[in-house]
Structure 1
Amino acid sequence: MLCDNERGVSLGTVGLKVLTSKDAKKVYAGIVAAGLRAKETVLETAEKVQASASDVLAEAQEINEARNEEIFEENK
């Protein structure tokens, strides 16, 4: 009969072989590939949001400039 330490070593060895098997590596590669695709999607979305925010900011600045010119003309 195996003691607890021997059982742990045996399970650890089996677990290590399973984790380093070709099939497991394929699964890990698939997971990492999905993570990379998700990262790319997030970055693309962030770029679009940033561009949109820049457009909104530029338009808001133009509105304020036009408003300030109107107020200046009214106060002459």
Structure 2
Amino acid sequence: MKALKKIGMFAAGTLFGTAGVKILSSKDAKKLYANCTAAVLRAKESVMDTVTIVQENAEDIYAEAKQINDDRKSAEEVYEDDSEVESEDESVEK
């Protein structure tokens, strides 16, 4: 009895497997795969456009931050130079 049940299960599995392969390789299934793949490609393109915009913005922000630091450093150098001149003037007066 068990052997007959196992043979029946094997036959049913083979039948469903064969039918499944035929269904998965049918024209309708291929059309579905193509549509899903096209949707994924559109999504990828959209994501890449967004990534490009974010990169451009990050580059702009980075350049502006560097400029701010350069301006700040220049201002500090001018302040230090002025301090040195004042110190020299004070020592000359004494």
TM interval, shorter chain, is over 0.9
Is 1:48 the equivalent of 2:53?
A: yes
Is 1:37 the equivalent of 2:42?
A: yes
Q: CA RMSD in A?
A: 1.2
In terms of Rg, which structure is larger?
Answer: 2
| Structure whose residues are more often helix by fraction | 2
**For structure 1, which runs of at least 5 residues remain unmatched after alignment?**
none
Q: Percent identity?
A: 43
Question: TM-score, normalising length from structure 2?
Answer: 0.78
* Residue of structure 1 equivalent to 2:86: none
1:1-76 equivalence runs, <5 A: 3-76=8-81
Distance in 2, matches of 1:9 and 1:43, equals 44
4+ residue segments displaced more than 4 Å: none
**For structure 2, which runs of at least 5 residues remain unmatched after alignment?**
82-94
Give the drift of 1:31.
0.2
| Bigger RCO of structures 1 and 2 (CA < 8 A, at least 6 apart) | 1
Question: TM-score, normalising length from structure 1?
Answer: 0.96
